Amino acid sequence: MNEVWSRRSWLKVAAAVPLAGWGRAEAGGRPQSEAGEPAIREPLPDTFPMQPSELVREMVTVSHFDLKRVKELVEARPSLAKASWDWGFGDWETALGAASHMGNRPIAEYLIANGAAPTLFSAAMLGQLDVVKALVAAQAGVQRMRGPHSIPLLAHAKAGGESARGVLQYLESLGDAGSEAPVPISEAEMNAIKGTYVFGIAANQQIEVTVERGGLSWTRKGMMGRPLVHLGERAFYPSGAPAVRIRFAEEREAMVMTVKDPDTVLVARRK
């Protein structure tokens, strides 16, 4: 027989049967888990079961320099040893990649011991000459690969210090494991390009192009800046993303920026 349930009926059932994930209730009415610990009230985020993005970003960030915090994060969530973060335009960096280009051996060794997959770049920094030679022999031209932020393999060996001297000498003998020099750009040319570029009316729909450390930097408001590598004729790629093209051109007495990744994804005009 069909029965129409009133709101009071539902409340009675809800009081008698604990909600999934809330556990049982103690005498005082506070939700408890079966183990007697307070149950979590917050609803699961839509991204569950993916790792919280704020923790992933922190993990990759602190893997550059903070072993103590790295250990705290990995002990709480072991899978963070394999964390990877996109700093922009597909400039992916793993926690191990961060430690490797910084020459931070203790963090790199801790991450590998806790599940991070070793790479050509970590091997170069750690001075593992046999590994580097084997990979170069197995894949022609692999020494020309770039790590996070377009940092070359040779720079990882330099970061490894004395223990990576053998790797450094070997890579130098190859002649093409270092970075390619960007096309020079004058201070006057950079000043002609820098400024605030707008592509919408929202507060974050603008990009700051600034002169920093002798080069240009590209920053969407509220996000991390990306150094620009000059290719000539006001064409650039953002650090870590050599397939992306950012071009500047004067149109109707205004400077216009075009971003292609790989198609045109953004056109912005300078204020």
> In the predicted model, is pLDDT for residue 181 greater than 70?
yes
Reported as a single tens digit per residue, the pLDDT across 110-146 is: 999 999 999 999 999 999 999 999 999 999 999 999 9
**Gap between the Cα atoms of 230 and 248, Å rounded:** 11
pLDDT at 47: 85
Report which of residues 3 and 244 the model is more confident about.
244
Residues 6+ apart with CB under 8 A from 165: 127
Q: What percent of the chain has pLDDT over 70?
A: 85
The secondary structure element, H or E, covering residue 206 is strand 206-212
3-state class percentages of the chain: helix first, strand second, coil last, to nearest 5: 40, 25, 40
pLDDT at 16: 43
DSSP secondary structure string, 102-127?
HT-HHHHHHHHHTTPPP-HHHHHHHT
What are the angstrom distances between the C-alpha of 84 and each of 10, 94, 155, 179?
A: 45, 4, 21, 23
pLDDT at 28: 46
Helix axes 165-174, 129-138, angle to 10 degrees: 30
Banded pLDDT at 213 (limits 50, 70, 90): confident
> In the predicted model, is pLDDT for residue 214 greater than 80?
yes
> In the predicted model, is pLDDT for residue 96 greater than 80?
yes
Could you tell me the pTM of the whole model? 0.80
Report which of residues 39 and 129 the model is more confident about.
129
Report which of residues 9 and 68 the model is more confident about.
68
> Cβ distance 159 to 153 under 8 Å?
no
Domain locations in the chain as residue ranges: 1-43, 53-174, 187-270
How would you class 158 by CB atoms within 10 Å of its CB: exposed for 0-12, middle for 13-18, buried for 19 or more? Answer: buried
Banded pLDDT at 164 (limits 50, 70, 90): very high
Report which of residues 161 and 34 the model is more confident about.
161
Banded pLDDT at 33 (limits 50, 70, 90): low
Topology at the third CATH level for domain 187-270: Lipocalin (2.40.128)
Class of domain 53-174: mainly alpha
Reported as a single tens digit per residue, the pLDDT across 72-88 is: 999 999 999 999 999 99
Banded pLDDT at 32 (limits 50, 70, 90): low
CA angle 207, 262, 89 (to 5 degrees): 45
Q: Please state, rounded to an integer, the average pLDDT across all residues of the chain.
A: 88
